[in-house]
Amino acid sequence: MAPSISQDLLDVSRQAVPRYTSYPTAPHFSADITAADYGTWLRQTGKAGKPVSLYLHIPFCRTICTYCGCTTKAALRDDPVRAYAAVVHDEIALLHQHLGPVEVSHVHWGGGTPNILPPEVFADLVEDLKTRFRFRPGMEHAIELDPRHVTHEGARHLASLGITRASLGVQTLDAAVQKAIARIQPLERIEASFDALRSAGINRINADLMYGLPLQDLGSIRETVGHVARLRPGRLAVFGYAHVPWMKSHQKLIKDEDLPDAKARYAQARLARDLLVEAGYAEVGIDHFAEPEDDLSLASKAGTLRRNFQGYTTDEAEALIGIGASSISRTPFGYAQNAPDNHGWRRRIEAGELPIVRGRRLEPDDIRRGQVIEDLLCRFETGETAATPEIQDRLAPLARKGWVELTGNRVVIREHHHEIARVVASAFDAYLGAGGRHSAAV
Ligand SMILES: C[S@@+](CC[C@H](N)C(=O)[O-])C[C@H]1O[C@@H](n2cnc3c(N)ncnc32)[C@H](O)[C@@H]1O
Ligand code: SF4
């Protein structure tokens, strides 16, 4: 049974640390990395002949949910979305010039809300990608969907274009919480989305849930998890609400007094986990769950789970190429980020340039620390030689509490304390404290 939540554990869980979907993390990217550097990395990646993954960012939604931490903006009409898609075609052509006709092993459409793309616009983009690159037969082709806009016709269209996996933003089914986050989607809407996807043959479904939202309590977590577990998505993510109003000004609409405190957040995260495990899901990493026979659970068990900008994945490609404003690419040589604003991104592409504004060349020390951090977040343990005496000193208070085990230079996060993996990982972060404000660890 999970131990009770002590004040010490709460103090640790309140620490502001990065989410570690990359290392070094994005606040430590710099303008030293230019389009020329990225162009060289892409050409080397293309020449290596290994398959790559693609991430396409569609930064538009019909309305903005007050809690949203994603890079997106409201588009009530289709015109800006169509104009954006036209520039994505140009970016695909530019990338193709550098990469050549590489094999693609994984495609992910994220946002924002990719199902805002008009059907023929989406079809043209998929066709363009297929023409320029070689889609590996049977590859995963995933999309994030806002359930408020999922229809039977839309789902059939996605299936006809080869979409194999859909991720639905459920967040919460509590009507009062939905009102507080400006996102009304009753259970019937969620059920209809599952039904539309499954009828169209898209059976690999993820559901995103959240805790720590305004007005959320244990009762509402129990209700939401109960309903969603009955709908039986193959995978679930349970994200703690990241309240960063200094970065996302619309979050100022959320009243501080409505937010659960650290203790309530921790209890909500634990309850969601316990209920999902009771419902037969396996825990994957710090915040994902999957059916025991799902590839993600199998990778977690086999120790081959990976973590990238989209969270936990089975994707083994060394290069993840980001397309669209603000997207980040990872190559074996370093990270490169596209201009975050749609105008800046568009101007650069129209001038025939890769739209890179910053990045980070990977030094051997970054690669080593990044691997240890990925090990901690995916496997809750490091290799034999990870922790230097200085890092052991940093982790000693957590070891004294019995939350982590230090055996020689190896670190293991004890069972029932996996939630603090981001805090343990931060002990290995050479850049921590040198800029960037983060959200609470739990
Ligand atoms: C791009 S959105 C999902 C697709 C679609 N736009 C939707 O909302 O249904 C990705 C996920 O990020 C999570 N998310 C958004 N804002 C967040 C925040 N401030 N803190 C934690 N998770 C957040 C939500 O669970 C959301 O489903
Ligand atoms: S949560 Fe999804 S639908 Fe809501 S604003 Fe963010 S990206 Fe858009």
**Per-domain boundaries in the chain:** 1-25+363-442, 26-323
Question: Nearest ligand to the C-alpha of residue 183?
Answer: 2
* Residues 92-138: tens digit of each pLDDT: 999 999 999 999 999 999 999 999 999 999 999 999 999 999 999 99
Query: Helices 79-99 and 35-48, interaxial angle, to 10°?
Result: 60
Report the pLDDT averaged over residues 323-346. Answer: 97
* Distance between CA atoms of residues 56 and 110, nearest Å: 6
241: Cβ below 6 Å to ligand 1? yes
* Distance between CA atoms of residues 154 and 119, nearest Å: 8
pLDDT at 344 exceeding the cut of 60? yes
Percent of the chain topping pLDDT 90: 85
Phi, psi of 44 (to 5 degrees): -65, -40
3-state helix/strand/coil string of 279-335: CCCEEECCCEEECCCCHHHHHHHHCCCEEECCEEECCCCCCEEEECCCCEEEECCEE
* Residues 176-215: tens digit of each pLDDT: 999 999 999 999 999 999 999 999 999 999 999 999 999 9
Query: How many A from CA of 28 to the centre of ligand 1?
Result: 23
Q: Is 205 annotated as a binding residue?
A: no
182-203 as b/e: b if 16+ CB within 10 A? ebebeeeebeebbebbeebebe
Q: Which amino acid is at 375?
A: D
* Distance between CA atoms of residues 16 and 47, nearest Å: 40
206: Cβ below 6 Å to ligand 1? no
Ligand 2: residues within 6 Å at CB?
61, 64-65, 68, 70, 72, 111-113, 146, 169
Query: How many A from CA of 32 to the centre of ligand 1?
Result: 31
What would the DSSP string read from start to end of 208-244? EEEES-TT--HHHHHHHHHHHHHH--SEEEEEEP---
Query: How many A from CA of 57 to the centre of ligand 1?
Result: 13
Q: Which residue has the tokens 């986050």?
A: 181
Would strands 103-111 and 204-211 be described as parallel, antiparallel, or unpaired?
A: unpaired
* Distance between CA atoms of residues 109 and 115, nearest Å: 9
Compute CA distances 391 → 388, 397, 424, whole Å.
5, 11, 10
Report which protein residue has its CA nearest ligand 1's atom 6. 113
Query: How many A from CA of 171 to the centre of ligand 1?
Result: 8
Q: Which class is domain 1-25+363-442?
A: mainly alpha
Report which protein residue has its CA nearest ligand 2's atom 5. 64
Which pLDDT score, from 0 to 100, does residue 10 have? 84
Compute CA distances 167 → 141, 209, 263, 283, whole Å.
11, 11, 29, 18
Contact 163, 143 (CB under 8 A): yes
Q: Is 67 annotated as a binding residue?
A: yes
State which ligand 1 atom lies nearest to the alpha carbon of 61. 6
Which pLDDT score, from 0 to 100, does residue 146 have? 97
Domain 26-323: give its CATH architecture: Alpha-Beta Barrel (3.20)
pLDDT at 43 exceeding the cut of 70? yes
